[in-house]
Amino acid sequence: TPRVFSGIQPTNHLQLGNYLGAVKRFVEMQNSGIETIYCIVDLHAITVWQDPVDLQNATRELAASYIASGLDPKRSILFNQSQVPGHAELGWIFNCVARMGWMNRMTQWKDKAGKDAEKASLGLFAYPSLMAADILLYHATHVPVGEDQKQHVELTRDIAIKFNHDFKVDFFPVTQPVIEGAATRVMSLRDGSKKMSKSDPSDASRINLTDDADTVAQKFRKARTDSEPLPETLEGLKDRPEARNLVNIYAALAEMTPEAVVAEYAGQGFGTFKPALADLAVSKLSPIADEMKRLMADPAEIDRILGDGAARANAIAEPILAQTYDIVGLIRSR
């Protein structure tokens, strides 16, 4: 039976790429009736320095973003990773299955560690192994993510295959990344060759879920583009990454195909398209921002929801972890 798992790091505010590439897809999968488990990966967040108070706030804010976007804590399991000890425990076992060479090839490691890998935390290096544990602790079959996480999900498959092979079992499933829709890689509004990111030093490069209507409109107005009108077909956007990005964002927000968006705006300039995009974005995002504010006013209720989700997650994880310990030969006499 299919089971969906995905996670997001509680660092900074969610940006439009996280929303369109991940959260909106999470909601669609929940609403399609599949079993869905969505995590706030606080243990991943601390692979780089996090101020403890900021981490708590970001964790609650991400929970509020999930719920305000349409995740229903009754229909989906919603929790923060550190409350289910199995993630760290299975992560350790996978540290012993995965190879240093595999980790060394991860592009996110290379980007994040930068030139001075000697100074990166050991946790940052092992990050993909913990991510494999997140997914496989629930025997999840489908993992909705943006394009940038594809390599990590593929590594998860390699870890599952090696574990099954080493211990001569057919225990961990081979997981499918689900990377679909118009917004699997939303780009920076300032530079069409860089992805939109929570950690970009330029706030103008992204739309935050917490931005007010004026800020959203202004950021789209100032978004970098060329000065050509929109073409008749997508072909005409081939060498125009900034324009293509805005069309993709429009398509994902409006739940249209990019083809249909260019057909609608063919021949129109950005003087028309950008305000239309800004209006569309505000109409979709401002109800989420309002609901987030309402939820954030009651942090105790958020903590209660996360605790309830963690208990339900743990009930699935515990037997899988116990079986894993048996397979590996680790005695559990309780």
Q: Which residues sit at the interface with ligand TYM, rule CB under 6 A?
A: 5-9, 17-18, 21-22, 41, 44, 131, 134-135, 143, 145-146, 148-149, 152, 183-186, 195-196
Which residue, 57 or 229, has its beta carbon nearer to ligand TYM? Answer: 57
| Site of tokens 């869905």 | 36
Flag whether 176 is marked binding.
no
| Site of tokens 């660092």 | 11
Flag whether 186 is marked binding.
yes
Smallest separation (angstroms) from ligand TYM to the CB of 266: 26
Which residue, 225 or 248, has its beta carbon nearer to ligand TYM? Answer: 248
Smallest separation (angstroms) from ligand TYM to the CB of 204: 15
Smallest separation (angstroms) from ligand TYM to the CB of 14: 8
Asked if 190 contacts 196 with a C-beta cutoff of 8 angstroms, the reply is: no
Neighbours of 228 (CB within 10 A): 12
Which residue, 54 or 232, has its beta carbon nearer to ligand TYM? Answer: 54
Q: Which residues make Cβ contacts (< 8 Å) with residue 94, sequence separation at least 6?
A: 129, 130, 132, 133, 136, 159, 163
Flag whether 95 is marked binding.
no
Smallest separation (angstroms) from ligand TYM to the CB of 19: 8
Distance separating alpha carbons of residues 191 and 188, to the nearest angstrom: 5
Which residue, 122 or 300, has its beta carbon nearer to ligand TYM? Answer: 122
Smallest separation (angstroms) from ligand TYM to the CB of 229: 26
Flag whether 195 is marked binding.
yes
Smallest separation (angstroms) from ligand TYM to the CB of 201: 16
By the 10 Å C-beta count (0-12 exposed, 13-18 middle, 19+ buried), 282 is classed as buried
Reference 196, options 19, 23, 11; nearest CA is 19
Flag whether 158 is marked binding.
no
Which residue, 255 or 301, has its beta carbon nearer to ligand TYM? Answer: 255
24 has catalytic annotation: no
115 has catalytic annotation: no
Asked if 277 contacts 45 with a C-beta cutoff of 8 angstroms, the reply is: no
Asked if 87 contacts 134 with a C-beta cutoff of 8 angstroms, the reply is: yes
What is the DSSP secondary structure assignment for residue 256, as one 8-state letter?
A: -
112 has catalytic annotation: yes
Flag whether 148 is marked binding.
yes
Using alpha carbons, list the distances in angstroms from residue 41 to 29, 104, 123, 214, 302. 19, 22, 13, 31, 16
Flag whether 286 is marked binding.
no
| Site of tokens 């996280």 | 18
Which residue, 88 or 297, has its beta carbon nearer to ligand TYM? Answer: 88
Query: From the candidates 112, 150, 162, 194, which is the catalytic residue?
Result: 112
Query: From the candidates 150, 162, 194, 198, which is the catalytic residue?
Result: 198
Query: From the candidates 24, 195, 219, 274, which is the catalytic residue?
Result: 195
Distance separating alpha carbons of residues 60 and 154, to the nearest angstrom: 30
Torsion sign across C-alpha atoms 324, 130, 185, 68: positive
Q: Distance of alpha carbon 168 from its chain centroid, rounded? A: 33
Which residues carry a binding-site annotation for ATP? 9-11, 17-18, 146-148, 186, 195-199
Which residues carry a binding-site annotation for L-tryptophan? 134
Catalytic residue ranges: 112, 195, 198
Which residues carry a binding-site annotation? 9-11, 17-18, 134, 146-148, 186, 195-199
